[in-house]
Amino acid sequence: MNVTVVGAGVIGCAIAHELASRGVSVRVVDPRGTGLGATHASAGILAPHIEGHLAPLLEMCVRSYGLYDSFIERLRQETDQPIEYERVGTLQVASDAAEVERLREQAAHLSSIGVPHSLLSRHELNSPSPQRMADSLVGGLLIPEQGYVVVSALVTGLALAATKRGAQFSHERVLRVNANGNRPQLTTMDGTIDCDAVVIAAGAWSSEVLAVAAWPPYVKPIRGQLLYLRGNHRAAAHVVWGSGCYVVPWQNGTALVGATVEDVGFCETATAGGIQSLLTAATSLLPSLADATFEGVRVGLRPMTGDELPIIGPSSTHPHVFYATGHYRNGILLAPLTAEIAADYLLEEREAPELAFTKPSRFGL
């Protein structure tokens, strides 16, 4: 079987790796290269019980996170590359009584579904942290099983592992996909590509690849700005999550601060206002970050659907087309599950339960 994956972000690379691992001939096309779209500006947070605000999304996020240990270990073994991945826990913090109450409600829900957690007092917030948290914080909720992965290492590992199994990556822009014949054909700036099946994993640009008569587009770009700061010590013991930002503390002292949520179309420009708002929010959580070195800002366009659920599954209108897009803020977290679902369907026509609420037909696709 010959499959072309359109898009070399984390979703496209994960699918390419899974397909190549199962003996499929895979070609990945992306004009930017590997991991340079929304993936480039992802903090790599793995927090299903924070991000899964919709019941179906929570179900998917929890299931995908359950695959992560073996997902990372497999990549480490296949590539012999280090991938920083830690379940250091997430610490959501509150600055007033109303936020404390919301954390208590969340804790009650976590108790009802058997997820380990701890509600922390103002004093307890600083007990597990190598860096003092702001005095204005009055409480917190620690979920110890959640964590993060360094995205650049993850995507590099996926592409390298896929390549070792025969996958080919090319810097090509797909102009259109003709999928109405017996075999789909892609027209690129450099020529044509024939294959047995196409996977649309182009993120916010997916609507442009396979033209569909719908408005608004089935995925829209939401700009996110992510800051890179560097200190002499690890910024915190856990991923810290406040009302204005989150902070991801890497082992080497790098702290990722994100992320803005901006509906500005296909504008990938960093702004002074976005940077300022994130710096203010970050130092209001961890005052020591005011002394960190500012190393840069990355900007990505996250692909959001109208119902904030991803689009995963076979097209109802174009044979031989499979969608894997619209993951919005959860592309990194959902990568292992999305790859498994795609490979199971393309090779065995096995439909995962998640396809019931991620099916493309809900957007006329």
Task: Based on the fold, state whether residues 160 and 291 are members of the same structural domain.
Answer: no
What integer pLDDT is reported at residue 129 of this predicted model?
A: 59
Looking at the structure, tell me whether residues 19 and 165 fall in a common domain: yes
Burial class (CB in 10 A: 0-12, 13-18, 19+), 211: exposed
pLDDT for 169: 97
Planar angle of CA 133, 279, 155, nearest 5 degrees: 95
Give the mean pLDDT of 265-292: 97
In a shared domain, residues 210 and 298 = no
- Whether residue 16 is predicted with pLDDT greater than 60 in this model: the reply is yes
- At residue 125, the pLDDT reads 87
The answer to whether residue 213 scores a pLDDT higher than 60 is no
Show which of 269, 286, 304 is a domain's final residue. 304
d(CA 365, CA 361): 5
Q: What is the pLDDT of residue 176?
A: 87
Residue span of the structural domain in which 235 resides: 90-144+220-304
Q: What is the CATH number of the domain that holds 336?
A: 3.50.50.60
pLDDT of residue 212: 54
Residue-wise pLDDT tens digits, 135-162: 999 999 999 999 999 999 999 999 999 9
**pLDDT reading at 130 higher than 90:** no
10 in Cβ contact with 156 (< 8 Å): no
The letter for the amino acid at 84 is E
- The confidence score (pLDDT) of residue 132 equals 83
Its pTM stands at 0.95
15 and 342 Cβ atoms separated by less than 8 Å? yes
Mean confidence (pLDDT) of the chain:
94
Indicate if 120 and 17 belong to the same structural domain. Answer: no
Residue 207 and residue 293 in one domain? no
Q: How many domains does the chain have?
A: 2
* CATH number, domain with residue 298: 3.30.9.10
* Torsional sign, CA 279, 282, 285, 288: negative
Q: Locate the DSSP E strands across the chain.
A: 2-6, 25-29, 45-46, 85-86, 90-94, 118-121, 139-143, 147-149, 168-170, 174-178, 185-188, 191-194, 197-200, 220-230, 239-241, 246-249, 254-258, 293-304, 311-314, 321-325
Both 154 and 287 in one domain: the answer is no
pLDDT confidence of residue 190 = 87
Q: Are residues 317 and 172 in the same domain?
A: yes
Same domain, 131 and 181: no
24-50, pLDDT tens digit by residue?
999 999 999 999 999 999 999 999 999
Does 165 share its domain with 228? Answer: no
Is a pLDDT exceeding 70 seen at residue 214? no
Task: Please compute the mean of the pLDDT values over residues 332-343 and round it to a whole number.
Answer: 98
**For residue 108, how many C-alpha atoms fall within 13 Å in the half-sphere facing its CB?**
6
- With 70 as the cut, is the pLDDT of residue 211 above it? no
SS3 label, residue 118: strand
Out of 277, 304, 331, a domain closes at 304
Whether residues 294 and 311 fall in one domain: no
Whether residues 192 and 234 share a domain: the answer is no
Same domain, 137 and 250: yes
Q: What are phi and psi of 191, to 5 degrees?
A: 150, -145
User: 286, 304, 322: which is the final residue of a domain?
Assistant: 304
Q: Do 305 and 328 contact (CB within 8 A), yes or no?
A: yes
